[in-house]
Every structure is written in structure tokens, then in C-alpha cells.
């Protein structure tokens, strides 16, 4: 297939006004201490929820992490595992949330983790990023295209195993100096996901090509 004939069209997530409001919240976030992390998605093994739970069970150095939020479609077995966990980290289980309530989670958190086995591009990552949440993500090309360590927009997991997640969580406090810059990078990247940017792309690229071809016929 000719790659020159393939165009990536970004799926918009919010209006420019919403993004500006989100960024105002994100710019107030601090990363010195007492941070919060969220997971948003289905409570399925393939999404890495079990690996997160196992990592949280084993974590020793957790003084930097105040709370961990789980939001998503409920699975009784996994929900019970979360409730039975013995950890110093405050665990919050929210179930399925509407967008307004989900935004409250993004406002509180400094990081979002999504250790899936496979993905397209999860919109929750860009939603959280608009609030300055730094993504902790697996090495999946569709995600790394937008959020990767080289561009200072993500913390990359070696894989989606318990050990890899545990290693990241226990060493989060060793890179505090980088997080404000990373947070601003992900918020800046979020501007590509507004409805206004999408409409401008359609107007300039798709409609523009159609007009050019019409003029040549």
C-alpha cells in the first residue's frame, strides 16, 4: 500500500474552550510530593489491571504516591481484589463515570497509566493529557506515535508485566525535576485534538484536495 496515499485523521476530544480550561488546571499541578495516579478503562486482564494490582501489592517505596484511582467498567472479581488490598496508598474505586465526573479524576491526578497488551489510540490518554496528566504507557506504536519518552511526553513501560509497572511506580520520585516540563509538553500536544483543529484539517487538507482535483478535471 502506498503510504503517501494514507492520511492520519486525529479523532477530536474537546473544544478549544474546554482545552483552555483544562490547561488552566494542569498548569497548577505540582510534582514534588503526594501525587495521584489514575487508570481509566475496562477492568479486563488484557488492559493490564491485574498487573497494576499485583504491582501495588508489592510496592515498598510508596511515600511519593498519595492515591490511586480506578475508573471503568466493573468486574466483580477485580473490584474485590482492589478492596482487599493492603497498601499505604489510598485506593479509590469509581466504576463507570460520565465525562464531567471523569474530568474531576483528571484534575486530581498527575499521572495516568494504561498498561494494555494492545490498543488503538485510547482517547482517555489525550483527555487526561489536556489536564497535564503524564501518560505511563506500553510500547504500542499507536500510542507512542503521540506519547513517547523521546519527545518528553510519556514514561514508557518496558512491558506490561507486574515487574515493569512496579519498577516505574517505585522510581517515580527519582525524576521529579522532569515532570513539570513533561506535563506542559502533553498539554501542548493536546491542542491537536480539538474539534477546531479537526475542522481546520478537513477544510485545508481533505476539501482542499477535492477542490484541486476538481479544478484539473
Sheet hosting strand 65-71, strand order edge to edge: 90-95, 65-71, 35-40, 111-113, 134-137, 155-156
Q: What pLDDT was estimated at residue 61?
A: 77
Please state which of the ranges 64-78, 130-144, 162-176, 203-217 shows the lowest mean pLDDT: 203-217
User: Is residue 68 one of the residues assigned to a domain?
Assistant: yes
User: Is residue 213 one of the residues assigned to a domain?
Assistant: no
* pLDDT tens digits, one per residue of 160-198: 999 999 999 999 999 999 999 999 999 999 999 998 987
* pLDDT tens digits, one per residue of 16-42: 999 999 999 999 999 999 999 999 998
User: Is residue 163 one of the residues assigned to a domain?
Assistant: yes
Q: What pLDDT was estimated at residue 119?
A: 81
Mean pLDDT of the chain: 87
Q: What pLDDT was estimated at residue 217?
A: 34
Sign of CA pseudo-dihedral 78, 79, 80, 82: positive
- Contact assessment for residue 110 and residue 37, using Cβ atoms and an 8 Å cutoff: yes
pLDDT greater than 70 at residue 4 = no
pLDDT greater than 80 at residue 210 = no
Q: What pLDDT was estimated at residue 206?
A: 66
Q: What pLDDT was estimated at residue 3?
A: 53
pLDDT tier at 68, thresholds 50, 70, 90: very high
pLDDT greater than 80 at residue 90 = yes
DSSP letter for each residue of 19-56? HHHHHHHHTT---SS-EEEEEES---GGGTHHHHHHHH
CATH number for position 173: 3.40.50.2000
User: Is residue 168 one of the residues assigned to a domain?
Assistant: yes
> How many domains, in total, are found in the chain?
1
Q: What pLDDT was estimated at residue 87?
A: 78
User: Is residue 215 one of the residues assigned to a domain?
Assistant: no
User: Is residue 210 one of the residues assigned to a domain?
Assistant: no
What domain range is 114 assigned to?
14-192
What's the average model confidence in pLDDT over 157-161?
Answer: 94
User: Is residue 199 one of the residues assigned to a domain?
Assistant: no
Q: What pLDDT was estimated at residue 46?
A: 87
For a pLDDT cut of 70, what percent of the chain falls above it?
Answer: 86
pLDDT greater than 70 at residue 12 = yes
Which H or E run contains 156? strand 155-156
User: Is residue 212 one of the residues assigned to a domain?
Assistant: no
Task: Give the angle 101-195-113 at the CA atoms, nearest 5°.
Answer: 45
Amino acid at each position: 500500500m502506498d503510504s503517501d496515499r494514507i492520511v492520519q485523521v486525529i479523532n477530536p476530544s474537546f473544544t478549544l474552550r474546554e482545552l483552555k480550561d483544562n490547561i488552566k488546571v494542569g498548569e497548577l499541578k505540582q510534582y514534588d510530593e503526594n501525587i495521584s495516579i489514575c487508570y481509566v478503562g475496562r477492568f479486563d486482564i488484557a488492559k493490564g489491571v491485574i498487573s497494576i494490582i499485583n504491582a501495588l501489592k508489592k510496592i515498598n517505596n510508596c511515600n511519593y504516591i498519595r492515591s490511586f484511582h480506578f475508573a471503568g467498567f466493573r468486574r466483580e472479581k477485580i473490584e474485590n481484589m482492589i478492596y482487599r488490598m493492603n497498601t499505604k496508598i489510598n485506593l479509590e474505586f469509581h466504576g463507570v463515570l460520565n465525562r464531567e465526573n471523569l474530568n474531576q479524576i483528571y484534575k486530581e491526578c498527575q499521572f495516568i497509566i494504561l498498561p494494555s497488551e494492545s490498543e488503538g489510540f485510547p482517547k482517555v490518554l489525550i483527555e487526561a493529557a489536556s489536564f497535564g496528566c503524564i501518560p505511563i504507557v506500553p510500547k504500542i506504536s499507536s500510542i507512542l506515535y503521540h506519547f513517547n519518552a523521546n519527545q518528553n511526553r510519556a514514561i514508557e513501560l518496558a512491558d506490561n508485566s507486574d515487574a515493569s509497572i512496579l519498577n516505574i511506580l517505585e522510581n517515580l520520585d527519582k525524576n521529579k525535576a522532569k515532570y513539570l516540563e513533561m506535563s506542559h509538553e502533553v498539554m501542548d500536544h493536546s491542542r491537536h485534538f480539538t474539534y477546531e483543529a479537526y475542522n481546520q484539517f478537513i477544510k485545508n487538507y481533505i476539501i482542499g484536495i477535492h477542490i484541486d482535483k476538481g479544478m484539473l478535471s
